[in-house]
């Protein structure tokens, strides 16, 4: 079937297989920050935004994204890099495979929740699994990032 999907502001007018998932579509067109993990909606590695909302691209039919705007880590790279520096400072990146999905969820949470509590943060990010770090590093990085609010200085949305 034919779809028109806008990824990070670039329009893709493509024929796709009917059962193609958004994850496959994005990787096919070079958005390799989107990782394939469990492929069954459990690990959060493949998190991208559709119309600004975080979704699991492994379970989101590409056909459903027809006419919609998709954002991957490449589309928010400055803000992602800013948060990434906080992760690095806390030794939270480890193997790094879960980082793109985790960062997409964190940036979405920052837009959705104002001054989130610890419980709200845990609840929001619980579906983004990391097998290296035990989450301590990410949690420290997240606290520092939310405290510093670098996006205000950097003029990000």
Partner 1 sequence: MRENPIYGEELDLFTIKSYVFPETLEEADELLQRDARNSAILGGCCWLKLGRRISRAIDLSRLGLDQIEVKDGFLELGASVTLHQLETHPAVTSRFDGILGECVSHIVGVPFRNCATVGGSVFSRFGFSDLTCALLALDASVVLYRGGEQPLAEFMASPIAFDDILLKVRVRDDGRRAAYQSVRRSTTDFPTLAAAVSCLGGQWTVSVGARPARAVRCETAAACLNEGKGAAAAGQAAADELTYGTDLRAGADYRKKLAAVLVRRAAEQCMEENKG
CA torsion 141-147-152-157 (nearest 10°) is: 60
State the minimum distance, in angstroms, from the CB of residue 39 to partner 1.
7
CA distance 89 to 121: 20
Q: Which two tokens stand for residue 117?
A: 């509590």
Q: Nearer to partner 1 by C-beta: 85 or 131? A: 131
Secondary element (H or E) of residue 13: strand 10-15
Per the document, the length of the chain is 157
Q: Nearer to partner 1 by C-beta: 52 or 91? A: 52
State the minimum distance, in angstroms, from the CB of residue 138 to partner 1.
13
State the minimum distance, in angstroms, from the CB of residue 130 to partner 1.
12
Q: Nearer to partner 1 by C-beta: 54 or 75? A: 54
> Residues interacting with partner 1, by CB under 8 A?
1, 17-19, 39-42, 44, 47, 53-56, 59-61, 63-64, 66, 101, 105, 108-109, 112, 122-128
CA angle 131, 135, 137 (to 5 degrees): 120
Q: Nearer to partner 1 by C-beta: 7 or 21? A: 21
CA distance 44 to 99: 10
State the minimum distance, in angstroms, from the CB of residue 99 to partner 1.
15
């Amino acid at each position: 079937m034919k779809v028109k999907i806008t990824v990070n502001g670039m329009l893709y007018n493509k024929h796709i297989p009917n059962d193609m998932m958004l994850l496959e579509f994005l990787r096919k067109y070079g958005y390799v920050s989107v990782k394939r993990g469990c492929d069954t909606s459990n690990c959060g590695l493949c998190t991208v935004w559709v119309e600004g909302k975080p979704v699991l691209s492994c379970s989101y039919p590409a056909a459903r994204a027809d006419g919609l705007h998709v954002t991957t880590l490449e589309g928010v790279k400055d803000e992602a890099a800013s948060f990434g520096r906080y992760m690095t400072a806390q030794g939270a990146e480890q193997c790094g495979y879960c980082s793109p999905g985790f960062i997409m969820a964190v940036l979405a949470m920052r837009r959705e929740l104002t001054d989130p509590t610890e419980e709200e943060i845990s609840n929001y990010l619980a579906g983004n699994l990391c097998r290296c770090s035990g989450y301590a590093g990410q949690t420290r990085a997240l606290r520092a990032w939310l405290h510093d609010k670098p996006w205000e200085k950097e003029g990000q949305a």
